[in-house]
Amino acid sequence: MEPISMIVADDQVLFVDLLQSIIDSRAGDFKIVGVAHDGNEAREQVFALKPDIALLDIKMPGINGVELTKEIVAKMPDTKVIILTTFADDEYVDAAIEHGASGYLLKNMPIDGLIASIRSIYRGVFTISEQIAKKAFRKSSTVTGHKSSSRGPLTERQEELAELLSRREREVYKLMVNGYNNDEISEMLYIASQTVKNHIRSIYKKIGVHNRSDIYNL
């Protein structure tokens, strides 16, 4: 099986060298086929080497990560673009996603989490750092007024059952309890609608219910 080919673009040379060293030693299914230290160099390498993954910083000399994302997605749809950056600002997140990025990750995440996220994105799962997802959830709740219309805190029984779930399943479960539908959960957690459905099926199985009404009545 061919390794997952990847180009890393970041103007911090030390960071790129360190990341390449770690990935080479801990992720045998990846192969970094090119590195770039500015947006123009990254563009040249992406179009010449046609990698599976383009791992881009937002702020680079030359073309920035957001504009380069837009260009890659338009011209090379088979290359998945992942933003890996220190910036969690709403404007960068929204712009990158709007232009078709397949993931938005922060540099301060654990390396094992980064490697797992890249693998997940390669398989087609949109992925965003938990810190950004929580921020987006708070923002969405405030803007839409969902907080005032929520069902309130979980009951004691609902809290007990939540302990049976994985971290992500608990996030989905708590949003379900508070009356959010699948599309809203997908938007708040920055995951695909099908992923939400998969989590819900797993939740039903683990806590022994058949529908949302059963959960509300726990």
Q: Band of the pLDDT at 200, cuts 50, 70, 90?
A: very high
Mean pLDDT of 131-155: 53
> Domain boundary at 128, 149, 178, which?
128
8 and 116 part of one domain = yes
- The CATH number that applies at residue 66 is 3.40.50.2300
Mean pLDDT of 185-213: 87
**Residues in CB range of 177: below 8 A, 6 or more apart:** 151, 154, 158, 215, 216
> Is residue 11 domain-shared with residue 107, that is, in the same domain?
yes
Q: What percent of the chain has pLDDT over 70?
A: 89
For residue 152, pLDDT over 70 is answered with no
Write out the residue range of the structural domain in which residue 198 sits. 134-216
Of 72-76, 112-116, 139-143, 166-170, the poorest mean pLDDT is in: 139-143
CA 63 and chain centroid, separation: 23
Of 128, 162, 193, the last residue of a domain is 128
Residues counted in the chain: 218
Encoded tokens for 93 = 């997140």
Mean pLDDT is highest, among 84-88, 120-124, 204-208, for: 204-208
Q: Which of 128, 149, 176 is the last residue of a domain?
A: 128
Task: Tell me the pLDDT of the chain averaged across its residues.
Answer: 84
Minimum mean pLDDT range among 67-76, 118-127, 148-157: 148-157
Number of domains in the chain: 2
Residue predicted with more confidence, 131 or 56: 56
CATH number at residue 168: 1.10.10.10
| Least trusted range by pLDDT, from 120-124, 183-187, 208-212 | 183-187
* Residue 102 structure tokens: 């397949």
Q: Do both 28 and 74 map to the same domain? A: yes
Query: Does position 99 have pLDDT exceeding 60, yes or no?
Result: yes
Q: How would DSSP label each residue in 14-57? A: HHHHHHHHHHHHH-TTEEEEEEESSHHHHHHHHHHH--SEEEE-
| Whether the model pTM is above 0.85 | no
CA distance linking residue 160 with residue 158, whole number of Å = 5
Please give the pLDDT value at position 85.
87
Angle between helices 90-98 and 65-75 (to 10 degrees): 10
Token reading at 214? 């059963």
102 and 11 within one domain? yes
Q: Which helix (H) or strand (E) holds 49?
A: helix 39-49
